[in-house]
Structure 1
C-alpha cells in the first residue's frame, strides 16, 4: 500500500463523515474566510471547499495529493467560519484531523524529522528546557551580542521575515526571574473567587511581564490565585502540526495538574492556548479513562477578560491620558472561546482616552501560530490589509489578547514605519498601566 492509499484508508477510518455531511455548501462561511478573500475567491481555499476536498478523499473521488495538502496547510485555522455556520459544522476539528492523518503518513527528509523531534518531543513538553533556551535569548539581548549581530547583518542570511521577527521580540527576563515563579497568591481584599492560572510555556518565559500583570489584575479583582507547578505546554502547536498523540500526553499532564485544586475557574491570558485547552474534552473524547476528567477541566476554562468583567473590574478607576485605543481580536479567543465583548468592555472603561472599533477587527491578523513563518507571503498579505484598517482607526495603541497576535501587530507597525506613533500591547499589560496611571494622578 503506497502513501496515498494509506492516507485514504485513514481518512475513511478517522474522519467524521457525519460532520462532513453537515456542511450544506450554503456559502455563509465565504465572507469570513481570509484565504478565500486573499486568493480572489478561490473555492478550494474556502472552508466549504476544503470540506469538499476532505469528503472527496473519504469517498475515493479525490486523491490525497499535494494539492489537497496544500489547501489544508494554507488555511490559517482561525475558525471564523464556525460562528457564522448555520449548521454548526466543526470545521476546525475536521481540518485538524485531516492534517494529522496526512502528517502521520508523510515521509519527511532526515533534517525535517530531526527538527520536528527536537521541537515537539524534546523541547515544548519540558518547561525547564524552555526556560533554558529563553535564558540564552535573554543573555543574547542583554550582553550586547544582539547589537553586534544586528550590525553584522548576519540575520539577513536567515531571510527578511526572520530578521524582522527578531527585531520585534520582547525583552526576555533573566533566567532567575523565570525560575522564581509564585504558586499561590492571595487577593488584595476579600476573596471573591478562587481561580487557577494556566501560565503557559512561552507566556511564562518570553512574555513573563504579561503573566505578572495578569496575576496582579486577578488579585485586584478579588481572586485567590493558584498556579500549579506541574502544568506544562497546552499542546496546541502539537495538535495543529500533526502531533496529536503528543498533544494528548500534554493534555493529560495538565488535567492532572489542575483537577484537584478546587477552583471556580481556570484562567488563561492567551487566546491560542485557551482555545486548545477548552477542547481537551474533544481531544480525549475516545479515551474512557480521561473523557470525563477532560470535560471537567474544559468546563472551567475562562479568559482573563471574562473573569474580570464577571467581577466588575471595569467599574474600578482606570485611566490613560490622551490615547486612542483599538482592539484586534484573537481569532481563537473570539471564535472558539466565544469571548469578544468582554475585552472591549474593559477598554471602554478606561477614562481619559478614546476607544475606536477597527474595521474587520474579527478578521485574522495572519499570525496563526507559526503560519507567519511557514506561509510568509499569505501572512504578510493579510497583515498589510489589517494594518490599513488599524491606521484608518487612528489608534495610538493596538490591543490584543494573544502573544502571536501581539508579535504580528508589532511586525505590522514596524513594516509600516509607525514605531514612533503606534504601539501594540497585550490587554493585561494595558490594564495594569491604566491602574498605575490612575494612581500616579491621585493627590498625595
Structure 2
C-alpha cells in the first residue's frame, strides 16, 4: 500500500465526519483567520477551506498531497474560528487529528527524524533535561560568550527574526534556582482555596520568575498551593505537531500527578498549556481507563486570572507608575478556555495604569508555539499587523498571558526599534509590580 493510499484510508477511518459535515461553509470564520487575511484571502488558507480539503480527502475526491499538507501546516492553530462558528465546529480537534495522520504516514528525512525524536521524546518530557538545556543557555548568557558572539557578527548569518529573537530571550535562572523548588506554600492570610499549580516545562525554567510571581499572587489571594513533583510537559507541542501518542502519554502522567492532591482547582499561567490541559478529556475520550479521570482533571483547570478575579484580588490596592497599558489575548486562553474578561478586569483595577484596548487584540500574534520559527514569513506578516495595532494604542506596556505571545511581542518591539520606550510583560509580573507599588518601569 502506497504512502498516500494508507494516509487516505486513515483519514476515512479516523476523521470525525459528523464534525466535518457540521461546517456550513457560511464564512463567519474568515475575518477571524490571520492566515486567510495575510495570504490575500486565499480560500485554502481559511478554516472552512481546510475543512473542505479534509472532507475531500475523506471522500476520496483528492489525495492527501503536498498542497493539502501545506495548507494544514500554514494554520496557526489559534482556534479563533471556533467562537465565531454558528455550528460550533471543533476545528482544533480536526486539525490535530489530520496532522497526526499525516505525520504517522509520511516519510521523514533522517534530519527531521532526529530533530523530532530529540525534541518530542528526548527533551520536553523530561524536566531534568529541560533544566540542563536551560542551564546551558544561562551559561551562554552569563559567561561572556553571548557578548562575544554578538560583537563578532555571527548572529548575522541567521535569518533576521531569529537573530532578533536571541536578543529578547529572558535572563535564564541558575540551575540551583530551578531545582530548589517548594512543593507546598501557605496562603499569606486567611485560606480561601486550596489549589494545585501546573508549573509547566518552559515556564518553570526559562520563565521561572513568572512562575514565582504567580505563586506569590496566589498566596496573596488566599490560596494554599501544592506543586506536584511528578508533573511534566502538558503535551501541547506534541499534540499540535502530529505526535498524538506522545501527547497522550504526557496527559496520563499529569493526570496521575494531580488527581490525589485534594485541590479545588488546577491553576495555569500559560494560555497554550491551559488550553491543552483542558482538552485532555477529548484527547483520551476513546480510552475507557482514562476517560473519566481525564474529565475530572479538566473540570479543575482554571487560569490564574480567573482565580484571582474569583477571590477578588482586584479589590486590593493595586498601583503602578503612571503609564498607558494594553492587552494582547493569548489565543488559546481566549478561544479554548473562554477567558478574556478576567485579565481585563484585573488590569483595569490597577491604579496609575490607563488601559487602552488594542484593535483585534483577540487575533493571533503569530507565535503559535514554534510557528514563528518554522513559518517565519507568515508569522512576521501577522506580527507586523499586530505591532501596528499595538502602536496605535499609545501603550508603553504590552501585557499578555502566554510565554510564546510574550516573546513574540518582545520580538515585535525590537523589530520596530521601540525597546527603549515600550516593554512587554506577562500579566502576573505586572500585577506583582502593582502589589509592590514599584515605580521603576524598566
Same fold (TM over 0.5): yes
Query: Counterparts of 2:156 and 2:428 in 1: how far apart (Å)?
Result: 33
Q: What does residue 134 of structure 1 align with? A: 134
| Residue 244 of structure 1: aligned partner | 244
Distance 1:99 1:352 in 2: 46
Give the C-alpha shift of residue 322 in structure 1. 1.3
Contact 1:365–1:382 under 8 Å retained in 2:
yes
**Per-residue deviation, residues 20-61 of structure 1 (Å, max 9, x unmatched):** 000011111111111111111111111000000000000000
In the alignment, the residues of structure 1 paired with residue 128 and residue 155 of structure 2 have an alpha-carbon distance, to the nearest angstrom, of 27
1:243-322 matches, within 5 Å, as 243-322=243-322
Equivalent-residue separation in structure 2 for 1:299 and 1:25 (angstroms): 32
Is the Cα contact below 8 Å between 2:279 and 2:298 reproduced in 1?
yes
Q: Give structure 1 regions of 4+ aligned residues with deviation exceeding 3 angstroms.
A: none
The 1-side partners of 2:399 and 2:352 are apart by: 17
Match of 1:426 in 2: 426
Deviations 1:89-148 (A, max 9, x none): 000000110011001111111111111111100111100000001011111101111101
Give 3-state SS (helix, strand or coil) of 1:325's partner. Answer: strand
Query: 3-state DSSP class of the match of 1:272?
Result: helix
Structure 1 unaligned regions, length at least 5: none
Q: What residue is the counterpart of 2:22 in the other structure?
A: 22
Once the two structures are superposed, residues 373-412 of structure 1 have per-residue CA deviations (whole angstroms, 9 ceiling, x without a partner) of 0000000000000000000000010000000000000000
2:213 equivalent to 1:213: yes
Consecutive unaligned residues in structure 2, runs of 5 or more: none
Contact 1:318/1:438 (CA < 8 Å) preserved in 2?
Answer: no
- Give the alignment of 1:36-435 within 5 angstroms: 36-435=36-435
**Aligned-CA RMSD value:** 1.0
Structure 1 distance, partners of 2:155, 2:120, is: 25
Q: Is the 8 A contact 2:29 2:84 kept in 1?
A: yes
CA deviation after TM superposition for structure 1 residue 438, in Å: 6.5
- How many residues of Structure 1 are paired with residues of Structure 2 in the alignment? 440
Deviations 1:319-374 (A, max 9, x none): 01211000000000000000000000000000012000000000000000000000
CA contact 2:321–2:438 (8 Å) conserved in 1: no
Following the alignment from structure 1 to structure 2, what is the Cα–Cα distance between the partners of residues 82 and 366?
Answer: 18
Deviations 1:56-105 (A, max 9, x none): 00000011000000000101000000000000000000011001100111
Superposed displacement of residue 439, structure 1: 10
**What do the CA deviations read for 1:124-181 (whole angstroms, capped 9, x no partner)?**
1100000001011111101111101111122222322221111110000000000001
